[in-house]
Amino acid sequence: MPSDARSLRPRAEHFVAPLEETPLQAVDAVDTTSAPRSMWGEAFRVLVRNPVFIVSALLILLVLFVSAFPGLLTSQDPTYGVLGRANQGPSAEHPFGTTTQGYDVLARTLYGTRTSVTVGFFTMILSTLIGGTLGALAGYLGGFFDAVLSRITDIFFAVPLILGAIVIGNRVDHVTVWIVVVVLGVFGWTNIARIMRGAVISVKNQDFVTASTALGASRPVILLKHVIPNAIAPVIVTATVNLGVFIVAEATLTFLGVGLPPTSVSWGGDISAAQNALRTQPMMLFYPSMALAITVLSFIMLGDAVRDALDPKARKR
């Protein structure tokens, strides 16, 4: 074909933008001056952008403030009851009314927060220490130790938490907050142990553990310095959710009469006492039940938010 014919053929015009006008350099540029974020730094960045975390954190801060300073919100004594003011409705002196024993409902609801949070927090700490230690040893040592510790975990796992606490609680003459913590901690560590064992098994085969072994690090150092910090994320999530579970367990035991004594200020005890006046004074049951529900829901929401932040697969979903 003649060259002049090819020049007359229609074709698309090509345009190449100048390099200085192309923003791809700025987009693809990597900041080499700042340190890379760690797993916890990245998780915190995701958490602060999650509305579920913000709402749950604010509710938990409110619960912690009430449990620490209930006297700032009421001047009534939760253990002082006057039968002459029994079953009164809301008033300026008693905003939530009074119980059938003449106790101030608002005061008992506020002071009951301290009991429930104390039991839930220390039980969570105890169960995490027991389950985390046994699970880490079973997963890291393996072999005979794994078999023995796993069978011990299975034995405790076969006993329901509430049932085991009821059996032990009936054997104790005077139940205190710390006895409830120990009983619930002894029967509530099995989930933590299983999760920790699985996480340690997956982490101990990583390349950085092999490198530490090749450099001459001892097994305790590898376990404490390298394996556990990289396997603790799912345990933290489970422990956060378990805190709400233990609060419910304490309220259930007290409701059934095998937990804290009636002289203690507890949401479970107030719910148990209010069920007899459900038809005449339903709000007497509503306030401690709502406080219990909000507290447990806050910790469950916090656990879900932490799980999404620590699990990249959950963020992608």
% of residues, the chain, pLDDT over 70: 85
Task: Identify which of 11, 84, 98 has the alpha carbon closest to the alpha carbon of residue 284.
Answer: 98
What is the per-residue DSSP string for 105-159?
HHHHHHHHHHHHHHHHHHHHHHHHHHHHHHHHHHHHH-HHHHHHHHHHHHHHHTS
DSSP-assigned letters across all residues of 214-265: HTT--HHHHIIIIIHHHH-HHHHHHHHHHHHHHHHHHHHHHHHTSSS-TTS-
**Residue-level pLDDT at 130:** 94
Lowest mean pLDDT among 65-74, 75-84, 104-113, 147-156: 75-84
| Residue 4 reports pLDDT greater than 60 | no
Range with the poorest average pLDDT among 18-22, 83-87, 123-127: 18-22
- 18 falls in which pLDDT band (50, 70, 90)? low
β-partners of residue 312 are: none
Identify the pLDDT of residue 305: 87
Q: Is the pLDDT of residue 37 over 80?
A: no
Q: Does residue 260 contact residue 269 with C-beta atoms inside 8 Å? A: yes
2 pLDDT above the threshold of 80: no
Pairwise CA distance, residues 217 & 210, whole Å: 10
CA distance 110 to 74: 8
Read off the DSSP letter of residue 38: -
User: How far, in whole angstroms, is CA 164 from its chain's centroid?
Assistant: 22
Nearest C-alpha neighbor of 60 from the set 128, 118, 117, 127:
117
- Out of 2-16, 134-148, 182-196, 232-246, which region has the weakest mean confidence (pLDDT)? 2-16
Report the alpha-carbon distance of residue 122 to residue 124 in Å, rounded: 5
pLDDT of residue 284: 85
187-204 pLDDT per residue, tens: 999 999 999 999 999 888
What is the spatial distance between Cα 73 and Cα 246, in angstroms, rounded to a whole number?
Answer: 26
Q: How confident is the model at residue 19 (pLDDT cuts 50, 70, 90)?
A: low
Rounded Cα–Cα distance for residues 132 and 200 (Å): 10
pLDDT on residue 38:
65
At position 142, the amino acid (one-letter code) is G
Domain ranges of the chain: 38-74+83-316
Chain centre distance of CA 79: 30
CATH number for the domain running over 38-74+83-316:
1.10.3720.10
pLDDT of residue 122: 95
- In tens, the pLDDT along 159-169 reads 888 888 888 88
Hey, is 93 helix, strand or coil? coil
Q: Is the pLDDT of residue 22 over 70?
A: no
The tens digit of pLDDT for each residue in 101-154 reads: 888 899 999 999 999 999 999 999 999 999 999 999 999 988 888 899 989 988
